[in-house]
Amino acid sequence: MTRLFCCIGSLVIFLVAPDSRAIPNDSAKPLYKMNRAEIDTLIRQTSQRHPDFLERLQIYSARALGTPYRWFPLGDGPQGKYDRGPLVDFARVDCLTFCEQILAMALAEDYEEMFARLQRLRYRHGEIDIRARNHFMLADWLPNNSWLVEDMTAALGGDLCVEMTKTINRVETLRKKGVPRNELAAMPPPQTMTIRYIPEVKLPAIKSKLRGGEIAVIVQSRPGIFAAHLGFMLRDSAGRIFFRNASARRGVKKVVDENFDDLVKFLQRNPSWVGMVFLRVRRE
């Protein structure tokens, strides 16, 4: 087993990666080294050979292992007014763009469809504008992508769930990104929002209920935002659950796998990361 450290922000996780059986033995070119034509061919071939969504999610996310980490790698494209980062970039990811791009691939049959799916995931109604971007995972991304995913936290946790209430200030977030106040008149006022999550001490009790393919969102206690990190919960051929995610830790900074039990132990030792929310792609 491989031991490593992973960091998000100023927080450090001690990880034990699953053994090699958790990672497909695939010597093909990694996703982050592929050009557009190669990605198009990969999507076309995989979508034909693997009709099951979860299989495609496993395949594409495995091909993304080792992808370099970069904070906020995507923007609104070269025509963007305040953020001209690319609209798609498989060469570098953060935790959110890793999940979004892999989901978009798993939903598509070619590159063009993947690109369109990605913009719908990242923006409200697919409208490419920084004001329509889903900046908050649980306050924006989840409700605006209810066509694809549903919150399974209560179904998994039941009475184990607890509530957390915070105020989401979208105007303040956009002001920090350079958007002037006179362009924010249509933005909603600060929103007080309550979520349900499964506390870190209760996570072992729901481990067996995870079928693999869930988006796991780590909840934090700091004000103004719920999500600290996210990635995919997956199962290997032996049924062991692990967490595939983009790590920000200096010296790692890439997409890696983490053992679920060790991730839970870290949460139990660190008061600012208090539990998890689980999202699942709708069966239909």
Domains along the chain with CATH numbers: 3-281 (2.30.260.10)
CB atoms within 10 A of CB 215: 21
Q: Per residue in 123-141, pLDDT tens?
A: 999 999 999 999 999 999 9
Please give the distance of CA 24 from its chain centroid, rounded to a whole number. Answer: 21
- The dihedrals phi and psi of 83, each to the nearest 5 degrees, come to -145, 100
pTM: 0.89
What number is the average pLDDT over the span 193-221? 97
Q: Measured between alpha carbons, how far is 119 from 80 in angstroms, rounded to an integer? A: 14
Res. 225: pLDDT tops 70: yes
Which tokens hold the place of 29? 């070119």
Q: Measured between alpha carbons, how far is 81 from 71 in angstroms, rounded to an integer? A: 19
Q: What percent of the chain has pLDDT over 70?
A: 90
Q: Per residue in 226-247, pLDDT tens?
A: 999 999 999 999 999 999 999 8
Flag the least confident range among 72-81, 175-184, 187-196, 265-274: 265-274
Query: Are 228 and 262 within 8 A, CB to CB?
Result: no
Name beta bridge partners: 276. Answer: 198, 218
Res. 6: pLDDT tops 50: no
Please give the pLDDT value at position 25.
40
Res. 8: pLDDT tops 60: no
Query: Are 183 and 242 within 8 A, CB to CB?
Result: no
Res. 160: pLDDT tops 70: yes
Neighbouring residues of 93: CB distance < 8 A, sequence distance ≥ 6: 64, 67, 68, 69, 70, 73, 101, 246, 255
- Mean residue pLDDT of the chain comes to 90
